[in-house]
Amino acid sequence: METETDLQHLRRALELAARGPAVDPNPRVGAVIVDAAGRVVGEGWHCGAGTPHAESMALAAAEGLARGGTAYVSLEPCRHTGRTPPCTRALIAAGIARVVFAQTDPNPLAAGGAAELRAAGLQVATALGAEAEAINEAWTFAVRHGRPRVIWKTATTLDGRSAAADGTSQWITSPEARAEVHRLRAACGAILVGTGTALADNPKLTVRGIEVTRQPLRVVLGERELPDDLATHPLLHLRHRDPARALAELHSRGVRQVLLEGGSTLATAFLRAGLVDRVVWHLAPTLLGAGPALGDFGVGTLADALPLTIESVHRAGPDLIATAAVRTTPIRKEQGCSQG
C-alpha cells in the first residue's frame, strides 16, 4: 500500500519529468531513488531521445547507495532494448527492493516492466497514473492511436471570417492571442499547412518570442509545386492530399503532436477523415460578413453534426480562445484536401 511518503516522492518524480523536452519522440520521465533508510540519494529525468533514461540517471547519482531502497518513477520502467538498455535490468542490478511508478506504459514494445520486476522479486506498486499521463498527453495519444494527435487552430471574427474581401488577414486577432499561438506551436512537433496557404501567405511557421530547444517541423501538404525560395526555413513537402498518409509519415519521423494552421480546405479534409482531435479557436470581437470558416465535411443533417466538448474558454487581450475536444470517427470514407 502506498504511503503519504510514497506519494511525496512520486510527485517529485513527476516534477523531474516535466524538465524533459515537451516535444520529443520519447515520453518525459522522472525518477527518484531512496535508500533503505528512506533518504533521497539520486534523482534523474529523461532529456530526450538517445539520452539516458531517468532511472539510469538517478541510479548513477545514487552512486551505489540504492541497494535495498525504493525507486519512484513517473512511468513504468521499460523492459526493452532501444537506444539505451532496459531500465528494469538496471534497477534489478542496482539492488533496488521496491519500485513505485505512476503511469503504466502504453507502448507494447516497452510495457511489461512491472511484471519483470515482480518476477525478479521486487515489490511493485503504482499510483498517480492520471497525473503522470497529463505530463505526456500527446505522446500517450500517439502511442495508443499509432499517429500524432492533431490540433486545429483557427482565428476568425465573430461571424466566422478569417480574411476580408480583399484577402487581408493580418491581423484578425490581438498580440496577446498571437503570443498564445507561439506557445501552442512550441508544444507541437510539426506545423502543417496546405499548398494554398503556403503560396498565398508564405508563412514562417516557427516559434517566436519563446525560447525552444528546437523548432517544429514545417510541413506543407498538397500536390501543387512550391517555389524554391519559399520562406527561409527548411520544410517538408508532402506531395499528396491524404491526411492519414501525412500523419503516418510524420509519426514515422517521431512527431507526436501536429498543429494544423492551414485554411478551411485543409481543416475540412482532416475533419472529414476524422483526424482532428482538438480545436483551438481564436475569436476576435469584430465582424466582416459573408464567409464560412469551414467547407462541407459531410454533415447533411443536424443529427450528424460533429460534437465538441469544451475544455476551456479564456480571454487573451480583447479576444476569446476556446479549446474543445473532438470525436475521431470519420464523417465519410472519402479523404483528401485539394490545395488549401
List active site positions.
55
Burial of 37 (0-12, 13-18, 19+ CB in 10 A): exposed
Q: How many helices (H) and strands (E) does the chain have?
A: 10, 13
242: which 3 cell numbers? 491524404
The three cell numbers locating residue 195: 499548398
d(CA 261, CA 183): 14
The answer to whether 207 touches 215, Cβ cutoff 8 Å, is yes
User: Are 4 and 122 in contact, with CB atoms under 8 Å apart?
Assistant: no
Instruction: Note whether 324 and 208 are within 8 A (CB).
Output: no
CB 14 within 8 A of CB 74: yes
Exposed, middle or buried by CB within 10 Å (0-12, 13-18, 19+), for 229?
A: exposed
The CA-based diameter of the chain, rounded to the nearest angstrom, is: 72
Tell me 293's DSSP state: S
Q: Which three cell numbers stand for residue 154?
A: 483557427
CA distances from 91 to 144, 151, 181 (A): 26, 38, 41
Residue 139, preceding peptide bond in cis (omega within 30° of 0): no
Contact 64, 95 (CB under 8 A): no
